């Protein structure tokens, strides 16, 4: 019996190892191809590893193909997007989770209705709105289009977390003369750190990986492209430079893969928590 | 009068709450409520985005959408993609989750981490990588199949109408598999272990345990997982846009790429924003109706089964 179950365990490990190798193979292929020369890539057949590591493709992608610009654009869009989202969702989640006031139910109701309403093609009016605000030729426009709609799930997560904190805490603080924003900033916000992490990770992923919004907003504006859009236009403009393409893809994906590997527990717990709640 | 005064007082008392909520309300109104309403309004106009919105055409955009064979082809393709991705992905991820949920299996965190990896990566970039891996010449898949003599000549996977959609579906399954794996794991972990212990004591086989414990207890979360998977796959855009652009000859054109072509691409001439909005609204309403019907059917099936078991 015991011997048999150990045997099954071994088989499970073998199967999962094969599957996982196939699963991450595209990323291995991408990274190793980035170090190959053009000739090696064409002659190499199925060989995964490069004969030696050369960084020429990275330099070409970074400097000539403007991936330095795309990279920093993506960093700005992502960091500012996460900060704005945390600010909006935590402040609104705080008032909605802890206080009753006229209009609260109406607001929550509206948010719910908007969540389930068929959206149509909202990028068109959003584009018009950004144009009228005069932000069309700036990263600010891209950021607003991405996060301006407010991450509703984030609001709900903060609302739930803040409503769990016992009332006594802020009553004591109030007696000590702490003001409303100070109670929020110094007492309440530090108590919901896990939610801050979850919402940040979600927003980080969606901002870093967004393709549609920056695609629409940077049509004809190469200087505002983010990595995904830059990659897409790269294959249009340099369709023969395969190794350069692989290097560009590595520049786009390696940062998020590193962040994920370091914080993988939070990623997975955050995703799991979202469907449970 | 009395009432007004107390309302005013209440608002003043809650001034901090309103101040904290104000940025969210303002932005939510501007970037969620307004665009949704405006996209409905625009769908009743003939508009190219440059002139003022004044050419009201009634329902004619909707009639044009509903009578365009190109739209229905894209509509059909969206559903083919969904039907290709969802059942396979959900069943495979459930099987993987059952294995990885075994606490005795060492290293299951490593497998989980690797299987989730595609989810965190940029779809647009990954799609391009995949287009190379499935490339006709020097593509890894063709090289592998040629080396093992399964094919004699390189296959143009993404360039032929017969295989392009199957490849996109395969990549789609791979890309979002991790989400469902984690969802299923969360669902499995919410089932109390004592139930299985008790079943074992009663001599239930592992198949019986799955059938009478796992399946019924997973059902509530399964409904959510299925709905999320369906909605996500019906709105696929990035993957199709970068891998085939809807080609060859619109064989992989889905509704999102179809609409994009009319709204933003130059290949159809002057932008037809009213028409594009009408297609978006039409598709949004259709998919919502399907979700509602499906939700109702599943609830019904649940209830019938519950009655039967009683």
d(CA B244, CA B251): 9
Write out chain B residues lying below 8 Å of A30, CB-based.
Answer: 129
SS3 call for B45: strand
Nearest CB partner across the interface for A114, out of B36, B174, B228: B36
Write out chain A residues lying below 8 Å of B20, CB-based.
Answer: 91-92, 94-95, 180, 184
d(CA A122, CA B235): 14
Chain A touched by B79 (CB under 8 Å): no
Which of B21, B150, B281 to probe the A interface (max A CBs under 10 A)?
Answer: B21
SS3 call for B56: strand
Encode chain A (277 residues) as per-residue pLDDT tens digits. 567 778 888 888 999 999 999 999 999 989 988 888 877 777 766 777 887 788 888 888 888 888 999 999 999 999 999 999 999 999 999 999 998 888 899 999 998 888 877 777 889 999 989 999 998 889 999 999 999 888 888 999 999 999 998 888 888 888 888 888 888 898 899 999 888 988 998 899 889 989 999 999 988 788 899 999 998 888 877 767 788 888 999 999 998 899 888 888 888 887 777 666 5
Q: For B122, which residue in chain A has the nearest alpha carbon?
A: A209
Tens digit of each residue's pLDDT (9 = 90 or more) over B141-174: 888 888 888 888 888 888 888 899 999 999 999 9
d(CA A199, CA A89): 9
φ, ψ for residue B118, nearest 5 deg: -55, -30
Interface of A with B in 62-101 (CB under 8 A): 87-89, 91-92, 94-96, 99, 101
Write out chain B residues lying below 8 Å of A258, CB-based.
Answer: none
d(CA B100, CA B96): 6
Cα-trace Rg, chain B: 25
Weakest mean pLDDT among A15-19, A37-41, B21-25, B95-99:
A37-41
Residue B251 CA to its chain's centroid (Å):
20
Cβ atoms of residues A225 and A201 within 8 Å: no
Write the CB contacts of B205 (distance below 8 Å, at least 6 apart in sequence).
Answer: none
Interface of B with A in 190-229 (CB under 8 A): 190, 221, 224-225, 228
Contact across the interface for B42 and A249, Cβ inside 8 Å: no
Whether the per-residue pLDDT at B295 is higher than 70: the answer is yes
Q: For B29, which residue in chain A has the nearest alpha carbon?
A: A149
Domains and CATH numbers, chain B: 2-42 (no CATH), 60-309 (1.10.3720.10)
Chain B touched by A219 (CB under 8 Å): yes
Contact across the interface for B25 and A107, Cβ inside 8 Å: yes
Least Cα distance to A94 among A205, A202, A169 occurs for A169
Peptide bond into B240 cis (omega under 30): no
Q: How confident is the model at residue B4 (pLDDT cuts 50, 70, 90)?
A: low
Whose tokens are 């950004």? That residue is: A130
- Phi-psi group of B272: left, alpha or beta (phi > 0 → left; psi -120 to 50 → alpha; rest → beta): beta
Second-level CATH architecture of A65-237 = Orthogonal Bundle (1.10)
Write out chain B residues lying below 8 Å of A273, CB-based.
Answer: 186
Domain ranges of chain A: 65-237
Q: For B18, which residue in chain A has the nearest alpha carbon?
A: A95
φ, ψ for residue B45, nearest 5 deg: -120, 155
Whether the per-residue pLDDT at B308 is higher than 70: the answer is no
Query: What's the gap in Å between the CA of B284 and the closest CA on chain A?
Result: 5
Nearest CB partner across the interface for B35, out of A101, A125, A271: A125
Write out chain B residues lying below 8 Å of A249, CB-based.
Answer: 125, 128-129
The predicted pLDDT at position A121 comes to: 85
Write out chain A residues lying below 8 Å of B124, CB-based.
Answer: 209, 211, 228-229, 231-232
d(CA B77, CA B235): 11
For B103, counting Cβ atoms within 10 Å of its Cβ (0-12 exposed, 13-18 middle, 19+ buried), the class is: exposed
Least Cα distance to B158 among B257, B254, B248 occurs for B248
Write the CB contacts of A176 (distance below 8 Å, at least 6 apart in sequence).
Answer: none
- Provide mean pLDDT across the span B239-263: 90
E strands in chain A: none
Chain A touched by B188 (CB under 8 Å): no
């Amino acid at each position: 019996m015991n011997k048999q179950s150990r045997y099954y365990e071994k088989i499970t490990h073998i199967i999962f190892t094969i599957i996982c190798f196939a699963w991450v193979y595209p990323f291995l292929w991408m990274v190793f191809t980035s170090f190959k020369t053009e000739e090696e890539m064409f002659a190499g057949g199925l060989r995964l590893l490069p004969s030696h590591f050369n960084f020429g493709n990275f330099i070409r992608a970074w400097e000539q193909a403007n991936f330095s610009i795309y990279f920093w654009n993506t960093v700005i869009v992502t960091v500012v997007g996460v900060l704005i989202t945390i600010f909006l969702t935590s402040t609104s989640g705080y008032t909605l989770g802890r206080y009753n006031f006229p209009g609260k139910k109406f607001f929550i109701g509206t948010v719910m209705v908007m969540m389930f309403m068929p959206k149509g093609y909202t990028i068109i009016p959003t584009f018009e709105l950004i144009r009228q605000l005069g932000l069309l030729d700036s990263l600010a426009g891209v950021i607003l289009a991405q996060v301006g709609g407010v991450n509703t799930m984030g609001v709900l997560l903060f609302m739930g977390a803040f409503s769990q904190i016992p009332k006594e805490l802020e009553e004591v603080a109030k007696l000590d003369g702490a003001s409303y924003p100070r109670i929020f900033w110094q007492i309440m916000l530090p108590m919901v750190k896990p939610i801050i992490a979850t919402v940040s990770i979600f927003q980080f992923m969606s901002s870093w990986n967004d393709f549609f919004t920056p695609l629409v907003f940077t049509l004809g504006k190469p200087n505002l492209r983010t990595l995904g859009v830059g990659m897409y236009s790269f294959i249009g403009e340099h369709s023969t430079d395969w190794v350069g393409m692989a290097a560009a893809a590595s520049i786009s994906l390696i940062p998020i893969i590193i962040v994920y590997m370091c914080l993988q527990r939070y990623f997975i717990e955050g995703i799991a928590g979202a469907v449970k709640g | 009068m009395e009432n007004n005064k107390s309302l005013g007082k209440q608002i003043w008392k809650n001034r901090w709450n309103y101040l904290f909520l104000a940025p969210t309300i303002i932005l939510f109104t501007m970037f969620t409520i307004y665009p949704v309403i405006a996209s409905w309004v625009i769908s009743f106009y003939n508009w190219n985005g440059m002139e003022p919105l004044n050419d009201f055409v009634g329902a004619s955009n909707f009639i044009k959408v509903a009578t365009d064979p190109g739209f229905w082809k894209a509509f059909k393709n969206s559903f083919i993609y969904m039907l290709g991705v969802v059942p396979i992905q959900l069943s495979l991820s459930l099987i993987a989750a059952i294995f990885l949920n075994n606490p005795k299996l060492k290293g299951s965190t490593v497998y989980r981490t690797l299987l989730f990896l595609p989810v965190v990566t940029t779809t647009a970039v990954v799609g391009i990588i995949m287009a190379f891996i499935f490339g006709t010449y020097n593509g890894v898949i063709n090289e592998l199949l040629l080396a093992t003599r399964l094919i004699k000549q390189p296959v143009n996977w993404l360039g032929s109408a017969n295989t392009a959609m199957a490849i996109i579906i395969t990549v789609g399954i791979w890309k979002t598999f991790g989400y469902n794996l984690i969802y299923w794991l969360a669902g499995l972990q919410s089932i109390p272990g004592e139930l299985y212990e008790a079943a074992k004591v009663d001599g239930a086989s592992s198949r019986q345990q799955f059938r009478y414990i796992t399946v019924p207890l997973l059902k509530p979360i399964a409904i959510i997982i299925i709905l999320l998977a369906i909605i996500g796959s019906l709105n696929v855009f990035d993957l199709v846009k970068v891998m085939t652009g809807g080609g060859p000859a619109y064989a992989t054109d889905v509704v999102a790429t179809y609409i994009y072509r009319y709204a933003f691409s130059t290949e159809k001439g002057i932008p037809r924003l009213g028409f594009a909005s009408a297609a978006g609204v039409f598709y949004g309403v259709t998919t919502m109706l399907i979700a509602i019907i499906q939700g109702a059917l599943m609830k019904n099936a649940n209830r019938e089964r519950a009655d039967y078991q009683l």
